[in-house]
């Protein structure tokens, strides 16, 4: 079999070579001719005539070979349809904030009356508790006065003042933190913009002021001081038990009522418009500054005065030198303030200047002590 002819026929007809060779072999056997002749006739287009064989016994009917028409497969390529990606449109959630409707603030008179009612009720409870606490410290030195039949206690004045000041401060902090919450929860128009931290500092400051003042007034009013006859005799402090008890209760009611009232008045009311809110903040800052600055100056000045007085008492020989230093410092600050009225002196600068003065005084006192 001529492979070149097979390849030629396969290329010209598009039929596979194997099928061409099998068809040519079958045709050659059927016609009784050489396979190459069949291939040559297919290649040239000639018709090959078969030579018939004569057989006496049977006649051979030549087979008609029907060529298989090879239908080439039509390869249908799959058209890949690109997926259409539909992006989900994310609809932003609309956060609907619940706007709390705040009632407009009540009148100042209504606020004062309602605050005094609740402040006085709290003051009664706090006053009785304070009175029992203070009286429990007076049972050590009880004396029954023969003339008036009053129960008098021998007490320590400083301890009495300290106990009353601390208990008043404790109840004042509770009062200032809770009064605004109680009134705002139970009544409309009593809300104020005051945080718990601000209430705590208000209660701390007012409690110390009212507590120490009440103790000083009670000891000055009903307390008795008995000086010793001889120089070595101790000084005795006496106070009537029941007189002290009821005065502590009354001063407790008075103090807690005023503390609650000051807390509610100094707080900026809720329900104001923007302009009223700004003006209320300005007024509040001015009132707070007018209260805090004088008391801060008194407190800091008193501490400095105590230290300086101790130096003067112990080293009186150097009193003139200390007085010159302090006077020069005061005049220096006064000249700076007068030369530049708009200058702003910060708190840190004042603290640094005060620390410098105290350091200088300590150095001079140390030198004086070493010389003595």
Q: List, for residues 258-277, the tens digit of each pLDDT value.
A: 999 988 888 878 877 788 77
Mind listing the pLDDT tens digit for each residue in 45-102? 655 444 444 444 444 444 444 444 444 444 444 444 444 444 444 444 444 434 456 6
More confident site: 54 or 106:
106
Element (H, E) at 35: helix 35-44
Q: Can you list the pairs that 342-348 forms with residues at least 24 positions away whose Cβ atoms lie under 8 Å?
A: none
Higher pLDDT, 156 or 52: 156
Residue 143 tokens read as 């004396």
* Over residues 118-135, mean pLDDT: 91
Residue 38 CA neighbour count, 13 Å, CB half = 22
pLDDT tier at 346 (50, 70, 90 boundaries)?
A: confident
More confident residue, 32 or 111: 111
pLDDT of 8 reads 76
Q: What is the mean pLDDT of the chain?
A: 75
**Torsion sign, CA atoms 358, 360, 363, 366:** negative
Higher pLDDT, 364 or 224: 224
Contact 41, 47 (CB under 8 A): yes
pLDDT digits (tens, 9 = 90+) for 297-315: 787 777 777 777 777 777 7
First to last CA, the chain: 142
Mean pLDDT of 106-113: 87
pLDDT value of position 141 = 64
Chain position carrying tokens 């008609």: 64
Q: Of 130, 265, 115, 124, whose CA–CA distance to 179 is shortest?
A: 115
Query: Residue 93 corresponds to which tokens in the numbers above?
Result: 């959630």
Of the candidates 180, 178, 189, the one whose C-alpha atom is nearest the C-alpha of residue 270 is 189
Q: Which of 26-30, 119-123, 366-370 has the lowest mean pLDDT?
A: 366-370
Strands laid side by side in the 224-226 sheet: 142-144, 151-154, 236-240, 224-226
Instruction: Please state, in angstroms and rounded to a whole number, the distance separating the CA atoms of residues 51 and 175.
Output: 136
The mean pLDDT of 182-190, rounded to a whole number, is 85
Which residue, among 294, 322, 296, 297, has the nearest Cα to 308 in the 3D structure? 322
Half-sphere exposure of 73 (CA within 13 A, CB side): 4
Average of per-residue pLDDT across 352-370:
72
The pLDDT score that the predictor gives to residue 249 is 93
Confidence band for 1, pLDDT divided at 50, 70 and 90: low
Half-sphere exposure of 149 (CA within 13 A, CB side): 0
Instruction: Please give the average per-residue pLDDT across 133-143, as a whole number.
Output: 72
- By mean pLDDT, which of 83-87, 197-201, 331-335, 349-353 is the weakest? 83-87
- Least confident piece of the model among 202-206, 247-251, 284-288, 312-316: 312-316
Distance CA 199, CA 105 (A): 20
Tokens of 117: 């009612």
How large a percentage of the chain has pLDDT more than 90? 13
| Residue scoring higher pLDDT (97 or 342) | 342
DSSP 224-268: EEE--SSTTSPPEEEEEHHHHHHHHHHHHHHHHHHHHHHHHHHSP
Between 363 and 166, residue with greater pLDDT: 166
Quote the CA–CA distance of 176 and 187 in Å, as a whole number. 17
The per-residue pLDDT for 98 is: 42
pLDDT confidence band for 329 (50 / 70 / 90): confident
Q: Is the pLDDT of residue 167 over 80?
A: yes
Q: How far is CA 197 from CA 105, 165, 169, 194, 203, in A?
A: 23, 21, 15, 8, 10
What is d(CA 183, CA 135) in angstroms, rounded to the nearest whole number? 33
Q: Average pLDDT in the 178-188 region? A: 86
Alpha-carbon separation of residue 216 from 37, 153, 220, 237, 325 (angstroms): 146, 17, 6, 14, 35
Count of beta carbons in the 10 Å neighbourhood of residue 38:
23
């Amino acid at each position: 079999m001529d492979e070149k002819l097979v390849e030629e026929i396969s290329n010209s007809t598009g039929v596979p070579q194997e099928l061409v060779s099998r068809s040519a072999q079958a045709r050659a056997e059927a016609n009784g001719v050489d396979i190459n002749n069949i291939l040559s006739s297919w290649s040239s287009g000639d018709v090959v005539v078969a030579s018939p064989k004569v057989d006496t016994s049977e006649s051979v009917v030549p087979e008609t070979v029907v060529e298989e028409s090879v239908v080439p497969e039509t390869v249908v390529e799959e058209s890949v349809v690109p997926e259409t990606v539909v992006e989900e449109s994310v609809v932003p959630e609309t956060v609907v904030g619940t706007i709390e409707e705040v009632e407009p603030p009540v009148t100042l008179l209504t606020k004062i009356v309602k605050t005094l009612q609740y402040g006085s009720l709290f003051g009664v409870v706090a006053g009785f508790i304070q009175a029992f606490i203070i009286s429990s410290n007076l049972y050590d030195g009880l004396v029954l006065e023969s003339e008036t039949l009053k129960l008098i206690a021998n007490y320590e004045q400083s301890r009495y003042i300290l106990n009353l000041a601390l208990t008043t401060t404790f109840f004042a902090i509770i009062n200032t933190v809770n009064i605004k919450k109680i009134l705002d929860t139970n009544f409309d128009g009593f809300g104020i913009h005051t945080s718990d931290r601000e209430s705590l500092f208000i209660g701390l400051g007012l409690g110390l002021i009212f507590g120490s003042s009440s103790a000083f007034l009670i000891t000055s009013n009903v307390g008795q001081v008995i000086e010793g006859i001889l120089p070595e005799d101790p000084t005795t402090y006496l106070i009537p038990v029941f007189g002290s008890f009821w005065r502590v209760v009354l001063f407790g009611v008075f103090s807690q009522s005023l503390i609650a009232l000051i807390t509610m008045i100094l707080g900026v009311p809720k329900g104001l418009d923007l302009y009223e809110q700004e003006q209320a903040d300005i007024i509040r800052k001015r009132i707070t500054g007018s209260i805090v600055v004088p008391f801060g100056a008194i407190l800091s000045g008193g501490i400095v005065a105590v230290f300086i007085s101790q130096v003067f008492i112990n080293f009186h020989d150097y009193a003139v030198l200390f007085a010159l230093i302090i006077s020069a410092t005061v005049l220096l600050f006064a000249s700076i303030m007068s030369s530049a009225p708009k200058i702003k002196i910060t708190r840190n600068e004042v603290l640094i200047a005060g620390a410098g003065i105290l350091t200088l005084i300590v150095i001079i006192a140390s030198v004086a002590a070493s010389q003595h």
